[in-house]
Chain A
């Protein structure tokens, strides 16, 4: 294993020190692993807290700032943070209007955020939670833990963050977060595995010409394995899976996301194929994002996330945002 680290055990804290050094707009509590906006809570504004395992950067710490999150709690690599961290973050961003927890649907994240919400309630902080579950590769049934939360998390954090910045109530911010989640679907493809630092070797083995279809963001194997194929066909596989669940017409917000180890040149090749495929289905990409936004360490591959827009969602997407990883209009 070759990684740019000092030691396996200090990866997360060393990276947090780097985040602190690079971004004076953020306050980083390295010991407790909480990233907040510098300057403390905004009085009267709903606070937005998200969190999850590390290894998905820039998610979530890179999205802390004006117009998006108020705090992020990074766990160990691919491991949900603990309730104490989430409670600290919740208290740090509470401006009196309540706090929204944005939780990706993984058993660990859900359980720990649930315990944190109970602890916050004990301290009289009103907390609402929205669980993101947009990955169509997982069947949402009684026989699974439900669909995973992946790319839609970026859309939810941006759009709910914009509404919170306007001074909307906790109920309204939670409602728009749920609306974005319900209107969004994702599908991911891996060309290679990631290597969890503590494990030291690839989480799964793929042959030279094999790919995993329907992967998540933790190196968990996908639903099926198949042969490598051209970008146009991969776009069709992803969009067929999404279209089975979400009509690909009207005005759409589309993200072509790299899994961490994919060159941008390939992501643009994928974006062109995705755009062409969506156009052929009668959809119009009104807004887009191409780049590495929710990653899985050094995994090669991509995911596509599509959200059906409304006028209000487009307006909130366009609203100013100023975070390390997403910045426009300000």
Chain B
């Protein structure tokens, strides 16, 4: 996967977050403070602007993700700004200066992102946070490539595990973030951070599939 795939991913992520802006905000209204969709949409719009305005344009996937993370930290605020920001920055650093990314490289980047989120937010699986989507997705991706899956299958496993992980947060009681104030009343609602993580990872699958289709058509 080259820089174009990652550019396509970030564009797709910005589009899907914008399209789900109200949905994410309503999820947040139920157990948080009704701003997750608004904040992330503002953040990814800023990412799009930062990429277009960067001189020189980020030449590698690593540089692109690092710029994405820094922009999210600077523009989003709340808890999701630092957490998504650190995730993208750590992933970008893990990819280094390579011009293209292979599947094991992407797995390492996902693990670095997960480690960064858990270090900053101190959340574990089961706490009803974005970790409940990112952790199982990273595991499913690793398992798929260990079993010799091709890129499209591994990325599908990633996206599906993230979606299943987000859905599983419905029955959890929140132990981190603003939802934890609700105690047992947080049960029965999907965690908005897990939901947005699933959307962003599905956008990665779709962007890579789109690039694969273009390559096949040449």
- Interface residues, chain A, with chain B CB atoms under 8 Å away: 53, 75-84, 106-108, 111-112, 115, 137-139, 142-145, 148, 196, 198-199, 203-204, 216, 218-221, 223
Contact = CB atoms under 8 A, between A and B. Distances in A.
Contact of B78 (A80, A115, A148, A220): A80
Chain B residues touching A, majority SS: helix
Contacts of B79: 80, 106-108, 111
Contacts of A83: 73-74, 82
30 contacts: A53-B78, A78-B33, A79-B76, A79-B78, A80-B77, A80-B78, A80-B79, A80-B81, A81-B77, A82-B77, A82-B81, A83-B82, A107-B121, A108-B79, A111-B82, A111-B120, A112-B78, A112-B82, A115-B82, A137-B181, A143-B180, A144-B175, A144-B181, A198-B35, A198-B38, A199-B29, A204-B29, A219-B29, A219-B34, A220-B32
A80 B81 CA distance: 9
B177 A76 contact: no
B33 A203 contact: yes
B39 interface: yes
A199 B39 CA distance: 11
A229 B31 CA distance: 25
A115 B33 contact: no
A132 to B, nearest CB: 15
B23 to A, nearest CB: 12
A198 B21 CA distance: 11
A199 B77 contact: no
Interface residues of B, number: 34
Nearest to B76: A82
Contacts of B173: 143
Contacts of B38: 76, 198-199
B29 A145 contact: no
Contacts of B180: 138, 143-145
Given A80-B77, A80-B78, A218-B33, 13 more contacts: A75-B78, A78-B34, A107-B177, A108-B82, A138-B181, A144-B181, A144-B183, A196-B33, A196-B34, A199-B26, A199-B38, A223-B181, A223-B185
Contacts of A204: 29
B201 interface: no
Contacts of A106: 79, 178
A193 B33 CA distance: 11
A72 B82 CA distance: 20
A204 B181 CA distance: 15
A234 to B, nearest CB: 20
B181 A111 contact: no
A53 B79 CA distance: 12
B75 interface: yes
A82 B75 contact: yes
Given A199-B29, A199-B34, A112 B181 contact: no
Contacts of A76: 35, 38-39, 42, 77
B25 A218 contact: no
A152 B181 CA distance: 18
A196 B78 CA distance: 15
Contact of B178 (A77, A115, A145, A199): A145
B143 interface: no
Contacts of A80: 77-79, 81
